[in-house]
Structure 1
């Protein structure tokens, strides 16, 4: 996606996911370039911090609702199409500094296949996303675990 990325996304990313309330089908949005991070991929050599790492101490961060609002504007979505998934906040060590990753969930009954295709993106299940960089795979694993436990 060739988009102007707001400065707030220099140190933040979003995973966009869909979970069926009845079927529990869980899918993640994937950009044409392969990344599952929005609006841009993580830099090469990025590594997800251990789940219990105390990274956030003293770190100023942005509320996930602000990021969801920004991604809605970037992608041309209605303001109520996505909402921030409470409790998902992960940290990734990148060559450019620490990136905080949140998750936004689609408020839809069915997966948004056509909508995402119009943006050059796809909705994929976790097995379909195998082979992504290790940091992304770890973020996806943690997101999937969070959704299945919550």
Structure 2
């Protein structure tokens, strides 16, 4: 699944509904590799054109993220309702969404790997395509 998929990870505080996204050490919110410069989010009405013939199950991405951050099994859970295709020069890739299941964000685990948690307002310096992905993720998670 590697190069053809990315994973955006979020934590939503149960009591306050504060939503934070994991920003990785390489200054991207896309787990396992920043998107290429020419990447563009595929609009829903054009999604069929970018559907791959075979779609591997995204579950290994959650386990891979747990390993990357040194988190226990079950700490990263896929949000199955969010799947976005992104058009890139080498062919389309898929972006999935996952939530952290802990009560509080694992700040120490993230920091140990050069990552941090950011609010949507702290993402302004990200590439435009990542901002669009975060906007869609925010709407999805907050029910908008």
- C-alpha distance in 2 between matches for 1:87 and 1:20: 19
Which of the residues 109, 120, 124 maps onto 1:130?
124
The answer for unaligned runs of 5 or more in structure 1 is 1-7
Deviation at residue 58 of structure 1 after TM alignment: 4.8
The alignment covers a number of residue pairs equal to 143
Is 1:70 aligned to 2:64, yes or no? yes
SS of corresponding position for 1:54: helix
Give the aligned partner of residue 3 of structure 1. none
For residues 55-86 of structure 1, the C-alpha deviation after alignment (integer angstroms, 9 at most, x for no partner) is: 35453112222221222233332111110012
- C-alpha distance in 2 between matches for 1:23 and 1:116: 21
TM-score by length of 2: 0.91
The answer for unaligned runs of 5 or more in structure 2 is none
Q: 4+ residue runs of structure 1 moved beyond 4 angstroms?
A: none
TM-score by length of 1: 0.88
The structure in which a higher percent of residues are helix is 2
- C-alpha distance in 1 between matches for 2:18 and 2:108: 17
